[in-house]
Amino acid sequence: MASIYVCLFLTARLTVSPSSSQFFEGDFVSLSCEEDDSSAEWTLRRNTSKQQRTQCGDGWGEGAGSSCNITYIFTLDSGVYWCESREGPISNMVNLTVTGGSVILQSPVLPVMEGDDVTLLCKTKTTPSNLPAAFYKDGSLIRKQPTGHMTIQHVSRSDEGLYKCDISGHGESPSSWITVTEKPTTASTPTTSALPPDCSSLQLGFRVVLHLLVFCPYVISTLLMMSLYRHRAKGNKLSILNLHTHPEQGFDDEHEDVITDVTTEHRF
Ligand SMILES: *[C@@H]1O[C@H](CO)[C@@H](O)[C@H](O)[C@H]1NC(C)=O
Ligand SMILES: *[C@@H]1O[C@H](CO)[C@@H](O)[C@H](O)[C@H]1NC(C)=O
Ligand SMILES: *[C@@H]1O[C@H](CO)[C@@H](O)[C@H](O)[C@H]1NC(C)=O
């Protein structure tokens, strides 16, 4: 339970606006890392075919705080985007595809939950109204829609796959992966449904950290007591041998040394 709590507060969610995983070249895209604890600093990073792990402002995007705007997106901006904090945890990852073509499929950018309805929209760059479109999943035609959009009701795991669409006379969209996540099985864990999929692996990490936090003070205090005991024994011997006039002073200096040692050790 404690680990779920920690996970909730240290994980950010990357959101994309407008909410789509595909864009036309020249579109404006706003990305932001959202989380409850605004004290943590999140950095937006991405992998593209050309560069890995570059952060917002470093050759792409304009950032302020935990958000990043791309005012004119290029096909080379296609890639995987995520938020990362200096402490290590990362958010959900998002695939963005930018096309130089004239058709896109607007599909959910975040994983959808089992049982939800999902609407896919097939759009052209030039025509403002929706045109009839054909939708494909994993390479096979699934539906032709005169309205240009298609709703999958009560999605299940079998709806997961690679989707694209086609508008006659305009062309084909790129493909985008739609991920379907499992609905939480018990009523006692409704909060976990809001977490990004990476959270489960983070939980494991934090459980380890929690254990370290519990065990460290115990180990440190044991070490501290042992060294204090050793130093005191040594100090007493020295003061007896040297007939020190201030026997307590020697001990105090060494006592301070022990404290500094422990503090450095603690900063691992
Ligand atoms: C980004 O690229 C780096 C280096 O190639 C790789 O280790 C990492 O797993 C990639 N991250 C994602 C989210 O694809
Ligand atoms: C990004 O765009 C949004 C919406 O247009 C705006 O509110 C925000 O201030 C912009 N942020 C940056 C860093 O330019
Ligand atoms: C991103 O796209 C690649 C290639 O289509 C796919 O293997 C990967 O699972 C996708 N990642 C996410 C987070 O959607």
At 92-141, the pLDDT tens digits run: 899 999 999 999 999 999 999 999 999 999 999 988 888 999 999 999 99
Tell me what pLDDT residue 206 has.
46
53: Cβ below 6 Å to ligand 1?
A: yes
| Residue scoring higher pLDDT (13 or 36) | 13
Average pLDDT over residues 179-195: 62
Tell me what pLDDT residue 227 has.
72
Ligand 3 atom, smallest distance to 179 CA: 14
Average pLDDT over residues 47-51: 95
- If pLDDT is split at 50, 70 and 90, which confidence band does 231 have? low
List the alpha helices (DSSP H) in the chain: 2-10, 199-242, 247-266
80: Cβ below 6 Å to ligand 1?
A: yes
95: Cβ below 6 Å to ligand 1?
A: no
Tell me what pLDDT residue 41 has.
80
Q: Whose CA is nearest to atom 1 of ligand 2?
A: 69
Ligand 1 pocket test: pick from 43, 44, 52 the residue with the most ligand atoms within 8 Å of its Cβ. 52
Range 45-65 burial, b when 16+ CB lie within 10 A, else e:
bbebeeeeebebeeebbebee
Tell me what pLDDT residue 58 has.
92
Ligand 2 midpoint to CA 194 (Å): 25
Degrees to nearest 5, angle at CA 196 with 192 and 200: 65
**Alpha-carbon span 106 to 87, nearest angstrom:** 34
Provide the residue count of the chain: 268
Tell me what pLDDT residue 221 has.
65
Tell me what pLDDT residue 81 has.
95
Give yes or no for residue 216 having a pLDDT over 60: no
Give yes or no for residue 202 having a pLDDT over 50: no
63: Cβ below 6 Å to ligand 2?
A: yes
Of the listed ligands, the closest to the CA of 14 is: 3
Give yes or no for residue 265 having a pLDDT over 50: no
CA dihedral 206, 43, 45, 58 (to 10 degrees): -150
Nearest to 105 by CA among 48, 168, 148, 42: 148
Tell me what pLDDT residue 183 has.
83
**Alpha-carbon span 114 to 215, nearest angstrom:** 40
Of the listed ligands, the closest to the CA of 178 is: 3
Give yes or no for residue 149 having a pLDDT over 60: yes
Give yes or no for residue 200 having a pLDDT over 80: no
Ligand 1 pocket test: pick from 14, 43, 44, 47 the residue with the most ligand atoms within 8 Å of its Cβ. 47
How does the average pLDDT of the chain come out, rounded? 77
- If pLDDT is split at 50, 70 and 90, which confidence band does 37 have? low
pLDDT above 90: percentage of residues in the chain = 52
Spatial contact of 203 and 7, defined as CB atoms under 8 Å apart: yes
124: Cβ below 6 Å to ligand 2?
A: no
The span from the first CA to the last CA of the chain, in angstroms, equals 26
| Cα dihedral sign, 18-22-23-28 | positive
Range 145-163 burial, b when 16+ CB lie within 10 A, else e:
beebebebeebeeebbbeb
- If pLDDT is split at 50, 70 and 90, which confidence band does 226 have? confident
Q: Whose CA is nearest to atom 3 of ligand 2?
A: 30
Ligand 2 midpoint to CA 59 (Å): 18
67: Cβ below 6 Å to ligand 2?
A: yes
